[in-house]
């Protein structure tokens, strides 16, 4: 049979949750930024020159067999040691190795969310977390460390609060000590479990408070997660979560049901990297590369976007959040930008309420070269100026088809 | 903070589905079979001597970057070519690379199952599939290729039928041509999507029909999945699914939400193996190792279990399904067996209805050495004879704690 001749006559019945499962703008974007010559400010792609050298690998046969759902014991120990040094007290038994930290979002969604379950999120926040929580049926409520009780004291207590306190995606913001204390206090007082997502922690360009908020909790349950995608390489698909003991048993069972256990080739390789005496120097070099890219990027913004937009210089991470002075729907800008060879991520999908237009866009500064940054920002600024003046932009390709 | 001093005061509210999430007997068993000296007939562990040599790897930097959710294009092409050669017509665009075929079970569960959704399964069947489907809320109905309409013509049409037609887990059974035709016809006539799980396909010791049932479908939607865990190595955590075009879009979105994409190190390595001219010889050698193990195992069964049990000689795969003449709850046998250094998998968790006692157990023959097979079967037979005679067995350790 072939798919052409034998198209099914009746539509299969999908689960009700599938109706809420939208195309991911990230996925759509990945196809676009692969086009030759495209200047990409869109993804969160690390710079390939920061990847480790993997030319002389000798994988031990033990790494090829089935392993434990929790992860390899030595890797869990190494992760726990790193987290304790960071100020988050935990034992290796609390560590669960993940197939990338996106998987932690799926597992926590499975753990907590039924149809209609309230979940507190920052606005804007990581769009693929919104996508997963929405699929499981979440109703979004407010998380804002500047509001009383961090905005969590609503009519119905959220099942958990999801936050990216350090170099947030998409804003690049880093919670200061007062904001961290406020969020921890609110979670403790209202008994709201905290899900702290911390993939950018190592990419710190300026001095700032980075101790996990979970380390300040006294009573609330918590899940903290980290990733090796930014400090090592995303193709390894390896991350981890650490959780308060009350959440561990169901999380391990969900992990086993999801994919038995994480890739042991990557686990073996990452363990070697964590034990490597050269690791701090490697991360310092990587941070220096990204710091310079950020500085070039911000200089470019000053050159081309003064008067057109506002932004904060991100103290770490991979993104600048550009707030246009004209309240444009930035999805409308994208087709013309792509036509002229520049990709960026429109701001709207990062908001839980999916606004019609938010006048903001997310720009990644880690992947493009210095020359591409210069050229790309000049093109973007021209398009924004045209659109803001009502001249309109060319092109019709929608961001999410 | 430490987990000791700051135990949460209130229990977090989990999703309703979590209540149905039981401990996996496989996970529990993995801890037991790691004990030194334990003879394990329990897991589905491949023999380490069949693993490929990975001593001279030179990973290209491109394999370290983020990749497509569907999988690397060249690997999808190679998988499609292999499946077409097997008789399952498909295009590379229909292939989705998975983080092991357990992930396919999670994705298909997410695609179809709401609370109360009927799902047709063989009895017995792969217990971790039952675990996942149960978590999503499935109500199990019958799939039996020997019944009229393969047992699918029930009051309510199942959302899909899950089958392992080739070297079934746990029975080792291989559907003959008539059974394959009957299942395909029933799915077509009743418009029941077929989810065919085929991880043992390459481990064929005797001639038998192995063309996928999905290749016979004319109208029904389908998902076919395979694995590299048995033919290469499980630590690579790599599998794939191929689906009818109507199911592809939501499956790719679910994959992206689950873990963005599969490990690119493993994808790169497996692609090299699929292109290696030595692959057919490698699989033939591996099949020969397992055939010999199976033959030793069956000889051992004849020596020790004649009169105590019945079994079919499995034409492929990794398991013998041993049906005891005494209708014992084989979970009760396990503690004494483990005390004497032999692990096996009780039969009860493989049944959707979770019977109190099924008088059957699953024995893996691929992992233990020839000497261990001999000694382990002798011990098991002694315990079965004692239990069957009412003498009882020692020990109290339950299989699922």
Residue A146 belongs to domain with CATH number: 3.40.640.10
Q: In this complex, do B258 and A106 lie within 8 Å of one another by their Cβ atoms? A: yes
Same domain, A235 and A358: no
Q: Does any domain span residue B10?
A: no
Cα separation of B377 and B250, whole Å? 47
> What would the mean pLDDT of B80-94 be, rounded to a whole number?
98
pLDDT at B52: 86
Same domain, A35 and A127: no
Weakest mean pLDDT among A59-63, B102-106, B317-321, B394-398 = B394-398
Same domain, A194 and A174: yes
The token duo for B356 is 């109190």
Same domain, B356 and B264: no
Phi, psi (rounded to 5 degrees) for B42 = -90, -60
Q: Does B245 touch chain A (CB under 8 A)?
A: yes
Contacts B256 to A, Cβ<8 Å: 24, 26-27, 128
Q: Does B396 touch chain A (CB under 8 A)?
A: no
Cα separation of A15 and B116, whole Å? 11
Same domain, B93 and B188: yes
Q: How far is CA A364 from the centre of its chain?
A: 12
Same domain, B177 and B107: yes
CB atoms within 10 A of CB A237: 31
Q: Does B9 touch chain A (CB under 8 A)?
A: yes
pLDDT at A388: 80
Q: Does any domain span residue B132?
A: yes
Q: How far is CA A397 from the centre of its chain?
A: 25
Residue-by-residue pLDDT tens, chain A, 401 positions = 444 444 455 678 899 888 878 777 776 777 777 778 888 898 888 888 888 888 888 898 888 988 999 999 999 999 999 999 999 999 999 999 999 999 999 999 999 999 999 999 999 999 999 999 999 999 999 999 999 999 999 888 999 999 999 999 999 999 999 999 999 999 999 999 999 999 999 999 999 999 999 999 999 999 999 999 988 999 999 999 999 999 999 999 999 999 999 999 999 999 999 999 999 999 999 999 999 999 999 999 999 999 999 999 999 999 999 999 998 999 999 999 999 999 999 999 999 998 888 999 999 999 899 999 999 999 999 999 998 876 554 433 333 32
Q: Does any domain span residue B394?
A: no
Q: Does A103 touch chain B (CB under 8 A)?
A: yes
Q: Which of A12, A26, A62 to mutate to test the interface with B (most CBs of B within 10 A)?
A: A12
pLDDT at A38: 87
How many folded domains does chain B comprise?
2
Any idea what DSSP says for residue B214?
Answer: G
Domain final residue, candidates A275, A295, A330: A275
Domain final residue, candidates A251, A275, A299: A275
Contacts B91 to A, Cβ<8 Å: 3
Cis peptide bond upstream of A141, omega within 30:
no
Interface of A with B in 120-159 (CB under 8 A): 128, 131-132, 135-136, 159
CB atoms within 10 A of CB A66: 20
**Complex ipTM above 0.90?**
yes
Same domain, A331 and A262: no
Q: Does B111 touch chain A (CB under 8 A)?
A: yes
Same domain, B102 and B231: yes
Any idea what DSSP says for residue B70?
Answer: T
Indicate the SS3 state at residue B320: strand
Which of A138, A156, A167, A245 has its CA nearest to residue A192?
A156
Cα separation of A387 and A395, whole Å? 12
Domain final residue, candidates A260, A275, A290: A275
Measured between CA atoms, the residue of chain B closest to residue A88 is: B1
Q: Does any domain span residue A394?
A: no
The token duo for A383 is 């398009």
Question: What DSSP element (H or E) covers A129?
Answer: helix A127-136
pLDDT at A391: 54
The token duo for B70 is 């569907």
Same domain, B296 and B183: no
Q: Does A89 touch chain B (CB under 8 A)?
A: yes
In total, the C-beta contacts within 8 angstroms joining chain A to chain B are 287
CB atoms within 10 A of CB A7: 12
Q: In this complex, do B159 and A13 lie within 8 Å of one another by their Cβ atoms? A: yes
Q: Does any domain span residue A180?
A: yes
Note whether B100 and A260 are within 8 A (CB).
yes
Q: Does any domain span residue B395?
A: no
Note whether B356 and B401 are within 8 A (CB).
no
Q: In this complex, do A112 and B12 lie within 8 Å of one another by their Cβ atoms? A: yes
Same domain, B77 and B205: yes
pLDDT at B277: 95
CATH of the domain at A319: 3.90.1150.10
Same domain, B38 and B96: no
Same domain, B99 and B221: yes
Q: Does any domain span residue A4?
A: no
Note whether B112 and A15 are within 8 A (CB).
yes
Q: Does any domain span residue A328?
A: yes
Residues in chain A: 401
Domain hosting A37: range is 16-50+281-388
């Amino acid at each position: 049979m072939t798919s052409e001749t034998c198209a099914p006559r009746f539509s299969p019945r999908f689960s009700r949750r599938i109706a809420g499962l939208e195309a991911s703008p990230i996925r759509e974007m990945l196809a676009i930024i692969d086009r030759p010559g495209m200047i990409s400010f869109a993804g969160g792609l690390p710079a390939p020159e920061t990847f480790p050298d993997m030319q002389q690998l000798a994988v031990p046969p033990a790494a090829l067999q089935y392993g434990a759902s929790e992860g390899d014991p030595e890797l869990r120990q190494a992760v726990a040691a790193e987290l304790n040094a960071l100020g988050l007290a935990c034992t290796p038994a609390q560590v669960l190795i993940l197939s990338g930290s996106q998987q932690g979002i799926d597992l926590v969604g499975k753990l907590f969310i039924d149809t209609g379950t309230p979940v507190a999120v920052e606005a804007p926040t990581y769009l693929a977390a919104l996508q997963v929580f929405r699929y499981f049926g979440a109703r979004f409520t407010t998380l804002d460390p500047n509001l009383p009780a961090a905005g969590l004291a609503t009519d119905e207590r959220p099942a958990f609060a999801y936050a990216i306190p350090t170099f947030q995606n998409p804003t690049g913001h880093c919670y200061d000590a007062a904001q961290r204390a406020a969020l921890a206090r609110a979670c403790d007082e209202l008994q709201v479990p905290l899900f702290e997502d911390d993939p950018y922690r190592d990419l710190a360009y300026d001095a700032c408070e980075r101790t996990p908020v979970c380390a300040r909790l006294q009573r609330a349950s918590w899940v903290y997660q980290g990733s090796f995608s930014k400090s090592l390489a995303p193709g390894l698909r390896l991350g981890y979560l650490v959780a308060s003991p009350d959440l561990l048993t169901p999380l391990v069972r969900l992990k086993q049901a999801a994919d038995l256990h994480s890739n042991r080739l990557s686990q073996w390789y990452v363990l070697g990297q964590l034990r490597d005496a050269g690791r701090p120097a490697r991360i310092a070099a990587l941070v220096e590369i990204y710091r310079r890219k950020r500085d070039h990027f911000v200089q470019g913004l000053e050159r081309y976007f003064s008067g057109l937009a506002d932004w904060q210089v991100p103290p770490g991470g991979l993104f600048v959040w550009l707030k246009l002075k004209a309240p444009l729907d930035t999805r409308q800008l994208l087709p013309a930008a792509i036509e002229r060879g520049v990709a960026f991520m429109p701001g709207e999908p990062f908001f839980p309420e999916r606004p019609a237009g938010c006048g903001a866009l997310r720009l990644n500064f880690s992947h493009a070269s210095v020359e591409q940054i210069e050229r790309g920002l000049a093109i973007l600024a021209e398009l924004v100026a045209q659109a803001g003046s009502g001249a309109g932009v060319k092109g019709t390709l929608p961001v999410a088809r």
